Structure 1
């Protein structure tokens, strides 16, 4: 069973900011191809975990391994090169660039030609760009963004821009994709669309996902397993149905016994 040989191993993670402990002994595994969700009340430490996974924060204690390679202490660029990509709750698109150019930026770390040959657009540089544009077009087709490919990102409808954010992360060809509140600010129709695209990505691409999301309906529909944080401590891990019925989880969310 894949979960016996996890793709991602997080062990005893501790993250402090001065006298505040954001994460306290957090441990979990994520299996190959799994969609693993992390939930919890505001301030529980969900985003702190993501920031440790992609190198923005360096935990004081604990270890993180991706397919046997240690991530702890590495820079965000080094971690990205190992196959970790992330979407952001607040859109990080370049507003004046077209959608296709924003997705091409996700390919940057995969490009090997130098600046001069790139400027001349000759030989190897030309062949490389054509190959990368072909890969980006496949993502545009997967996420049904064809009619928006030439539109500046700043003019995209909000739901489409969130989809483009997902597309740029996929353009990095990640093995581990961190989804940071992918449906934040969306209406019901946009949320249902995003759920469909995430499901399709999982079906078609060899990528493992970790989802942080406040929309519990989305989490319970999509996640294989769910980890629940409260004040930086893991209070439950399991399949969605069992987590929903956990008294500690109910208390953390509702502020009292069920």
Structure 2
């Protein structure tokens, strides 16, 4: 690839959402939403409950299919694609209500994030012999790196069901990281955490973005965390975009203030 082509690739958004509209019967959850996420960027979406934040995530990873608009990820149009196909392109997601297997250990849950990167069949994997065993052992070091990053070493062999809520939230992020994403979707990663846990989560997110060079799309109600972490912010209300830009500019926007506190003054 030429130097010019490399420069063009670096300036091409990793994710582009154009005019996405999502309806459920007579209810419009998203109304002409447009934004982009740049490569290596930490981008946040904010808004009151019911603003459409989770609906955007569900459109991005293929759970919902919008009636209008387009979504392009890393040069591929992904509107209407199945979640597994989108995951294979390099998009991973955490869930607000956690998507973990409570009867498995932390390490086993993290290893499940590597599933789409493995090639051995179901029965060979279940019996854990031959190539299946070799393949799993080959993926293990990367999972250990992730466990170390998120400071989960003391819980490595503990079942998820026995862990405190804040630790389980970290395991959810670890499982998503194990998918080797170029874009990580974090759905309220600090929800339900105390102040110390929230500050730790903010530190992990910053390290994932800055040290691991992974673009992050963050949905979060903790505005303090968003304003501290994000390079750009999208504010929404009732399925519509209110403002997009630098955190300070969005925070000062009259429409955003009105959506949160009911007045533009």
Give the structure-2-normalised TM-score. 0.94
- Distance in 2, Cα, partners of 1:203 & 1:5: 19
Residue of structure 2 aligned with 1:74, choices 67, 81, 95: 81
Residue 42 of structure 2: aligned partner? 35
1-side partners of 2:105 and 2:127: how far apart? 22
Q: Does 1:7 align with 2:5?
A: no
The answer as to 2:238 corresponding to 1:231 is: yes
Of 141, 145, 151, 1:134 maps to 141
Where does the alignment leave 5 or more consecutive residues of structure 1 unmatched? none
Contact persistence 1:3–1:30 (CA under 8 A): no
SS at match of 2:142: helix
Question: How many angstroms apart in 2 are the aligned matches of 1:111 and 1:100?
Answer: 16
**In structure 2, what is the equivalent of residue 160 of structure 1?**
167
Among candidates 142, 146, 150, match of residue 153 of structure 2: 146
Q: Any idea what SS the aligned residue of 1:235 has?
A: strand
Give the C-alpha shift of residue 120 in structure 1: 4.8
SS at match of 2:35: strand
Which of 36, 57, 63 matches 2:64? Answer: 57
Offset of 1:67 from its aligned partner?
Answer: 1.1
Counterpart-to-counterpart distance in 2, 1:255 and 1:210: 27
C-alpha distance in 1 between matches for 2:68 and 2:10 = 24
Q: Alpha-carbon deviations, 1:95-152, whole Å to 9, x = none? A: 1111101111111111101234334544432221111111111111111110100110
Equivalent residue runs for 1:1-258 within 5 Å: 4-258=11-265
How many residues were matched structurally? 258
Q: In structure 2, list runs of 5 or more residues that go unmatched.
A: 1-6
Which one is further off, 108-117 or 207-216?
Answer: 108-117
CA RMSD of aligned residues (A): 1.4
Per mean C-alpha deviation after superposition, the further-off stretch among 203-212 and 67-76 is 203-212
In structure 1, how many angstroms separate the alpha carbons of the residues matched to 2:84 and 2:217? 19
Q: 1:41 to 1:119 in 2, by over 3 A?
A: closer
Over 3 Å counting, the alpha-carbon distance change for 1:144 and 1:247 in structure 2 is same
CA distance in 2, matches of 1:131, 1:181: 32
